[in-house]
Amino acid sequence: MKLSKFKQSENILFILFLLPAFFFIVIAQFYPLLYSFYISFTKWSLIKWKPIALVGLSNYQRVLQDSLFKHAFKISLIFACITTPVELVIGFLLAYMITGERKIYKITRTILVIPMTIAPVAVGTIWRMLLNTRAGLINYLLQKIGINGPNWLATPSTAFFSILIVDIWEWTPFAMIIFVAALSSIPVDLFSAAQIDGASRWQILRYITLPLIAPITVLIVLFRFIDSILVIDIIYTTTYGGPGFSTNVITFHIYKQALKYFNITYAAAASWILQIFCLLVAIVLLMCSGKLQEKI
């Protein structure tokens, strides 16, 4: 009985310690989320300060009919569809080459992970300086070998290419480090048995390694695809959505609508459309990961 009372008091104390964090999460996360959902169905302006009026789905209709929203969503999809597979392939190749207990592998992994540890805003600022047309290091090095470097951030095609490179440089280490963990978890006995049976390195990779890490691969795709869709840091610090609308991704479009044009209800509706899209992508990919896990 005494032990039971002690356990009860311990549980109560545990709950009391958790309450501040719980209330903080509710206030900082759920309340803004629910409030944004509410105002997405209203007509309200930060400038005119008129009473809030419910307008139903008109904000969502306005967003879906907006050509700028469609363009921004298209840019984000293209961005994510390029960066995700490139980061996945390069990350796997790097992981495949440096997985092991050798000291040189550990040092290499530590060095390659550095870009991921830098704040995205700092990454964007660094690359903006590197890509500077007149004083940037990249154009300086190109000039040294007789090549006139382009205006990286001043023309639509090169600006979009530049932000692709920045994102790939920063987040390929994420895929690499997850693949290293996945490859390290595969029992060595499987490889030894396959080699005894005469399997080549390519056959081991194709029929043992890739199938075993397939569920993890899907999860990497999930994290990187959604994160690429939601990218804003490097856009804000490098191109600011330009030139024109060539790098005006969906998150930056929503940001400008909310904080530059004070179109709060539009931004709220657009945010929820984006959130629902990301949720659907997550559900599909998690189902794929679950099915692959069952086959192993």
- Taking the alpha carbons at both ends of the chain, their separation in whole angstroms is 47
This prediction has a pTM of: 0.88
What is the structure's pLDDT at 25? 80
Q: Give me the residue spans of the domains in the chain.
A: 49-295
**Distance between CA atoms of 56 and 39, rounded to whole angstroms?**
10
Element (H, E) at 218: helix 210-229
The residue among 187, 208, 215 whose CA lies nearest residue 293 is: 215
CATH architecture designation of domain 49-295:
Orthogonal Bundle (1.10)
What is the structure's pLDDT at 195? 86
In tens digits, the chain (296 residues) has pLDDT values of 445 665 566 677 777 888 888 788 878 788 888 899 999 999 887 777 777 788 889 999 999 999 999 999 999 999 999 999 999 999 999 999 998 888 888 898 999 999 999 999 999 999 999 999 888 899 999 999 988 889 999 999 899 999 999 999 999 999 999 999 999 988 888 888 888 888 888 888 888 899 899 989 999 999 999 999 999 999 999 999 989 899 999 999 999 999 998 899 999 999 999 999 999 999 999 888 887 776 65
